[in-house]
A and B are shown apart, each in its own frame.
Chain A
Amino acid sequence: MTTTVATQGGIGTNAQRPDGALKARGEFAYSSDLWHEDMVWGVTLRSPHPYARITSIDITEALRVPGVQAVLTHEDVPGTNIYGLEHPDQPVLAEDVVRYQGEPVALVAADHPETARRAMKRIEVAYEVLPPVVNTEDAAHGRAEPLHPNGNVVRHVKVRHGPQDVRADVVVTGEYEVGMQDQAFLGPESGLAVPADDGSVDLYIATQWLHADQRQIAVALGLPPEKVRLTLSGVGGAFGGREDLSMQVHACMLALRTGKPVKMVYNREESFYGHVHRHPARMYYEHGATRNGKIVYVKARIYLDGGAYASSTGAVVANAATLGVGPYDVPSVTVDCWGVYTNNPPCGAMRGFGAVQAAFAYESQMDRLADAVGLDPVEVRIRNAMSEGAVMPTGQVVDSPAPVVELLTLVRDKPLPAKGNDLTDMPGGVSNTTHGEGVVRGVGYGVSIKNVGFSDSFDDYSTVRVRLSVIGGQAVASVHTAAVEVGQGLVTVLQQITRTELGVDVVTIEPMDTSIGDAGSTSASRQTYVTGGALRAACAAVRAALFERIGHTDLPLDHDKIVEVLGTDVIDEVVEWRHRPTYRLDPETGQGNAHVQYAFAAHRAVVDVDVELGLVKVVELVCAQDVGKAINPEAVLGQIQGGTAQGLGLAVMEEIQLADGKIRNPSFTDYLIPTVLDMPPMVIDVLERPDPHAPYGLRGVGEPPTISSTPAIVAAIRAATGMALTRVPVRPEHITETS
């Protein structure tokens, strides 16, 4: 049914972000800018120890500080003092034990943030410090003290595909390690809780998933969900780090106790303790292949450090396991992946979600295989690349385009960049460490596979409401959803889809809140797919209602026709929409159609390495990615550039450094993220090979480029140095062997 007339700013155009100018001018209101008459400020007392028993908490002195409105401990949690994204195991406030450094122990509200902090320091907590469990493999194999009632294994996923225990002529093995990366979103955790007279609360919050927050907050507060209303505030980036609760329950508890609006804002240091990080990984891989480089089998053991609480570790483990051999045809797969509890900081969702860690290992292995059989690294990948119709290690058939060979060929065939002569072109940049001495160029490749949307039988859906009315002679559509904008551009996508589907120019986006049904998380590269799909269906329902009024269904729909037909009526449709179902992995074999869709990206990295100083300048990054359909081509490029930069960070600088469970660098002074002088220009090819199962044929975009840029950059550094480099981030100490 072709019933719409393309209007300006529909899908496939570079529609401008409604929040773009405000953000560029610094006028956008983030959650940390929230303000309310009579509000008070909340702060959080956190454990200084990774593992300790709490023997007593004395709040007497804190309560005596003038200006203090409330001091709360676990005894004041009104509902159940336990929450969690996948399964509840984390206290809102610690009771008799703390399991990580930074675990919340008590809350203070005061009329000034400084007063609250001063009072917080007067809370006396007596700890009996215990030796922390920090070794992931010990935790996985029962060699450490259990930190939770069911032991330290959060999840163990086994994948058994094809004949097991096969042999091959060529065998390459490797042990790889990925350090703990932080999302490093720029807007720290913050929100404002406003109590209402009926004992309910409104929370204005920067989050990734309003309804998951609502469910968990309601349980902790002992309130029915409808008495906990959430409205999205301005979000300064997320990348997975806002999928778990941070200060949500705390602010609501303080608001309900004091009867006043309570604002909480973490500073940068607290933010490092206030959200989950990317799982550090230790990975053992063995690839068997024929002499001409065709993979015969892959065996892998992957250990992911989940830290003190489960968060989304279970799903991360499933991703690392099911995507653990990469976008390759592998006839025999034996993968074991463990996610475990330790006393390290909790780890959970971060862009790439398990696929990042595995990709560093399997792509490093592909380069070793290329060496072992004397092939070019791209050629060995092409010989093994999967394509549409391939069978995944889970037994799932890839039933939409998988243009892995084309992506690899595209990045390989780009011309190589020339050497730069300016200081800013050199490793070290303006720090003036080399004028060309010791600088060696290297080129490397990486290719990735990522699932889009929630997997493993999760009921993954979104809810969208579309209202169509005529205001002042103009047709106006308004879109309401709880799907949140975290900076990725959903607001633009919603406007574009509505314009295309309804033929109206003016589309307003209602505040994102919990007064409408669940839209799922803004994660897993899923919102354009799932909420986009729901919006398209809601628009179709609006169209159907219009046609009913007209009495035809085959007319082109345009603005004037809508105005004429609608008059003073309002059409209002709410749709709940699901993608096709996924199925649970078999616990013994890891078999099952667990994923909705696969997405692919490839990178070529060109680096200059100062081999004497171990400093790296990434000179150029080339990326090719299949996006099915680019709803907003410019926003797609932004995702690819941003994702690539985050992968660059993991390759050469980003790591939360730990010592006995304690974070050594909780600041942007010492947790370094790439600057404009670290991130090189990119050459990007965007392919549009439609997925017949997805709305508009689109594919999730946000994660794949993060995954393949890291192994490509490390491969390039290896090419320049001839070193094995089995750990990311690669540090100057690794290259100069001065650790």
Chain B
Amino acid sequence: MEFLRPVSLGEALEMKAARPEAVPIAGGTDVMVELNFDHRRPAALLDLTRVAELAEWSRDDSVVTFGAALPYTRLINELGTDLPGLAIASRTVGSPQIRNRGTVGGNLGAASPAGDTHPVLLASDAVVEVASARGTRSIPASEFYLGVKRNALEPDELITSIRLPKATGPQQFAKVGTRNAMVIAVCSFAISLHPNESRAGAAIGSAAPTPRRVRQAEDFLTEVLDWESPQALPDSAKRRFGELVASAAEPIDDVRGSAAYRKHALAVLARRALGWAWDAYREGERSCA
């Protein structure tokens, strides 16, 4: 196995163009497990840890852009205020050691339906910036996931950064696992309120071949949420929202949980998370007034 160690993004892209079969590695929390289990023996690894710009971030008044190789721990500590939903999801990733190494870029590269950050990226209108020696592309998160562990990257492309609007309203993420820490999602749910657009984004994880937005449920919220003079949501509305979220899922029975449980749990998570987010929004409106 060859171990390629570019020191700049330009060099990394040239290497990837020359060796499209090279597997990018940053934190190694996914790739190394596959290597250790002998599930995969790529001809080459492309080590991105020396490419400084991939671990940087920047922000302006409305948008945060962070490098694909920024570890979760830094994301939580340095960007948690601007990206609260992503910070909540990042805190549920593995253990402290894993969070010190693992990256959102790795989550996207692996494109596992159970990846913890995907629902937040979908609910928050994230854009995945990718590059190759041929140029760059911006892929909306909603177009990024193509199938189980398949994404929209071309063989010569690398994920360079993730671009998200700063949170303009409350965001929530919740994940069910059968242990109280260090657990892969049985199912997960994210919601981001976008008061400036009078709408909400919502998405599910680990409940279909890909992470997916739940558009019917989002549309329902557009109908029932009064952004100008926010009222307490009746239980019936929260419940209806939960049902719509669950109905968008196509889960499987597997060793981590039954399909029936996943649907049931998603309805509960969606109902609760909507309540938390909406109550926080109402709270914020009151305190601004």
User: Known contacts A613-B265, A613-B268: does B258 contact A431 (CB below 8 Å)?
Assistant: no
Complex Cα–Cα for A738 and B176 (A): 14
Is residue A672 contacting chain B, with contact meaning CB distance below 8 A?
A: yes
Complex Cα–Cα for A699 and B92 (A): 43
Assess the A614–B261 pair: CB atoms within 8 A. Answer: yes
Contact of B179 among A117, A424, A434, A678 (CB under 8 A): A678
A86-94, A172-180, A729-737: which lies at the B interface? A729-737
Is residue A435 contacting chain B, with contact meaning CB distance below 8 A?
A: yes
**Residues of chain B in range 143-184 having any CB-CB distance to chain A below 8 Å:** 172-184
Q: Report the minimum CB–CB distance from A679 to chain B (whole Å).
A: 9
User: Known contacts A665-B255, A736-B264, A738-B258: does B180 contact A434 (CB below 8 Å)?
Assistant: no
Assess the B178–A677 pair: CB atoms within 8 A. Answer: no
Assess the A431–B180 pair: CB atoms within 8 A. Answer: yes
**Residues of chain A in range 652-669 having any CB-CB distance to chain B below 8 Å:** 652-653, 657, 664-665, 669
Assess the A657–B255 pair: CB atoms within 8 A. Answer: yes
Is residue B36 contacting chain A, with contact meaning CB distance below 8 A?
A: yes
Assess the A675–B180 pair: CB atoms within 8 A. Answer: yes
Complex Cα–Cα for A669 and B265 (A): 21
B91: which A residues are within 8 A, CB to CB?
430
Is residue B256 contacting chain A, with contact meaning CB distance below 8 A?
A: yes
Assess the B260–A433 pair: CB atoms within 8 A. Answer: no
Is residue A2 contacting chain B, with contact meaning CB distance below 8 A?
A: no
Assess the A670–B256 pair: CB atoms within 8 A. Answer: yes
Complex Cα–Cα for A672 and B172 (A): 26
User: Known contacts A267-B36, A432-B92: does B182 contact A738 (CB below 8 Å)?
Assistant: no
Complex Cα–Cα for A613 and B186 (A): 11
A427: which B residues are within 8 A, CB to CB?
180
Complex Cα–Cα for A615 and B268 (A): 12
Q: Report the minimum CB–CB distance from B206 to chain A (whole Å).
A: 12
The residue on B at minimum CB distance from A678 is: B180
**Residues of chain B in range 246-286 having any CB-CB distance to chain A below 8 Å:** 255-258, 260-261, 263-265, 268-269, 272, 276
Q: Report the minimum CB–CB distance from B220 to chain A (whole Å).
A: 21
Q: Report the minimum CB–CB distance from A186 to chain B (whole Å).
A: 15
Assess the B37–A269 pair: CB atoms within 8 A. Answer: yes
The residue on B at minimum CB distance from A121 is: B38
Q: Report the minimum CB–CB distance from B199 to chain A (whole Å).
A: 23
Is residue A465 contacting chain B, with contact meaning CB distance below 8 A?
A: no
Complex Cα–Cα for A430 and B263 (A): 21
The residue on A at minimum CB distance from B38 is: A117
Q: Report the minimum CB–CB distance from B216 to chain A (whole Å).
A: 22
Count of interface residues, chain B, beta-carbon cutoff 8 Å: 33
The residue on A at minimum CB distance from B262 is: A738
Assess the B181–A430 pair: CB atoms within 8 A. Answer: yes
Q: Report the minimum CB–CB distance from A314 to chain B (whole Å).
A: 32
**Residues of chain B in range 1-56 having any CB-CB distance to chain A below 8 Å:** 36-38
A674: which B residues are within 8 A, CB to CB?
179
Assess the B180–A437 pair: CB atoms within 8 A. Answer: no
Is residue B88 contacting chain A, with contact meaning CB distance below 8 A?
A: yes
Complex Cα–Cα for A430 and B182 (A): 10
Assess the B269–A433 pair: CB atoms within 8 A. Answer: yes
Assess the B180–A677 pair: CB atoms within 8 A. Answer: yes
User: Known contacts A612-B268, A665-B255: does B180 contact A739 (CB below 8 Å)?
Assistant: no
Is residue A428 contacting chain B, with contact meaning CB distance below 8 A?
A: yes
Assess the B92–A431 pair: CB atoms within 8 A. Answer: yes
The residue on B at minimum CB distance from A615 is: B176
B88: which A residues are within 8 A, CB to CB?
432
Contact of A732 among B92, B175, B261 (CB under 8 A): B261
User: Known contacts A675-B181, A739-B258: does B174 contact A431 (CB below 8 Å)?
Assistant: yes
Complex Cα–Cα for A672 and B183 (A): 8
A613: which B residues are within 8 A, CB to CB?
176, 265, 268-269
Is residue A429 contacting chain B, with contact meaning CB distance below 8 A?
A: yes
**CB-based A-B contact count at 8 angstroms:** 96
Complex Cα–Cα for A435 and B88 (A): 14
Interface string of B65-91 (1 = CB under 8 A from A): 000000000000000000000001001
Complex Cα–Cα for A675 and B265 (A): 23
Complex Cα–Cα for A613 and B257 (A): 12
Complex Cα–Cα for A665 and B256 (A): 9
B183: which A residues are within 8 A, CB to CB?
431, 672
Assess the B177–A431 pair: CB atoms within 8 A. Answer: yes
Assess the A675–B182 pair: CB atoms within 8 A. Answer: yes
User: Known contacts A117-B38, A432-B92, A614-B261: does B184 contact A732 (CB below 8 Å)?
Assistant: no
Q: Report the minimum CB–CB distance from B75 to chain A (whole Å).
A: 15
Assess the B260–A670 pair: CB atoms within 8 A. Answer: no
Complex Cα–Cα for A670 and B254 (A): 10
Assess the B261–A678 pair: CB atoms within 8 A. Answer: no
Is residue A499 contacting chain B, with contact meaning CB distance below 8 A?
A: no
**Residues of chain A in range 302-334 having any CB-CB distance to chain B below 8 Å:** none
Assess the A429–B180 pair: CB atoms within 8 A. Answer: yes
Complex Cα–Cα for A203 and B51 (A): 47
The residue on A at minimum CB distance from B265 is: A613
Complex Cα–Cα for A272 and B2 (A): 32
Q: Report the minimum CB–CB distance from B89 to chain A (whole Å).
A: 9
Q: Report the minimum CB–CB distance from B106 to chain A (whole Å).
A: 16
Is residue A629 contacting chain B, with contact meaning CB distance below 8 A?
A: no
Q: Report the minimum CB–CB distance from B68 to chain A (whole Å).
A: 24
Assess the B258–A430 pair: CB atoms within 8 A. Answer: no
Interface string of A178-192 (1 = CB under 8 A from B): 000000000000000
User: Known contacts A430-B181, A431-B177, A677-B180: does B257 contact A437 (CB below 8 Å)?
Assistant: no
The residue on B at minimum CB distance from A673 is: B179
The residue on A at minimum CB distance from B184 is: A669
Is residue A160 contacting chain B, with contact meaning CB distance below 8 A?
A: no
The residue on A at minimum CB distance from B279 is: A435
Assess the B264–A738 pair: CB atoms within 8 A. Answer: yes
B186: which A residues are within 8 A, CB to CB?
732
Assess the B255–A430 pair: CB atoms within 8 A. Answer: no
Is residue A229 contacting chain B, with contact meaning CB distance below 8 A?
A: no
The residue on A at minimum CB distance from B267 is: A612
A432: which B residues are within 8 A, CB to CB?
88, 92, 172-175
Complex Cα–Cα for A563 and B186 (A): 67
Complex Cα–Cα for A677 and B256 (A): 19
Assess the A672–B178 pair: CB atoms within 8 A. Answer: yes
Q: Report the minimum CB–CB distance from A377 to chain B (whole Å).
A: 26
- Select the residue from A267, A424, A434, A732 with max chain B CB neighbours within 10 A: A732
The residue on B at minimum CB distance from A734 is: B261
Complex Cα–Cα for A434 and B172 (A): 12
Is residue A536 contacting chain B, with contact meaning CB distance below 8 A?
A: no
Assess the B178–A732 pair: CB atoms within 8 A. Answer: yes
Contact of A434 among B38, B178, B182, B272 (CB under 8 A): B272
Considering the complex of A and B, which 3 residue pairs feature the smallest CB-CB distances, nearest first?
A429-B180, A738-B261, A677-B181
Known contacts A613-B268, A732-B265, then 6 further A-B pairs from the complex at CB < 8 Å, ordered by chain A residue: A430-B180, A431-B92, A613-B176, A676-B181, A732-B257, A738-B260
Q: A-side interface residues toward B, CB under 8 Å?
A: 117, 267, 269, 424, 427-435, 437-438, 612-615, 617, 652-653, 657, 664-665, 669-670, 672, 674-678, 731-733, 736, 738-739
A-B contact pairs, 5 of them (CB 8 A): A431-B92, A431-B181, A432-B92, A664-B255, A733-B257
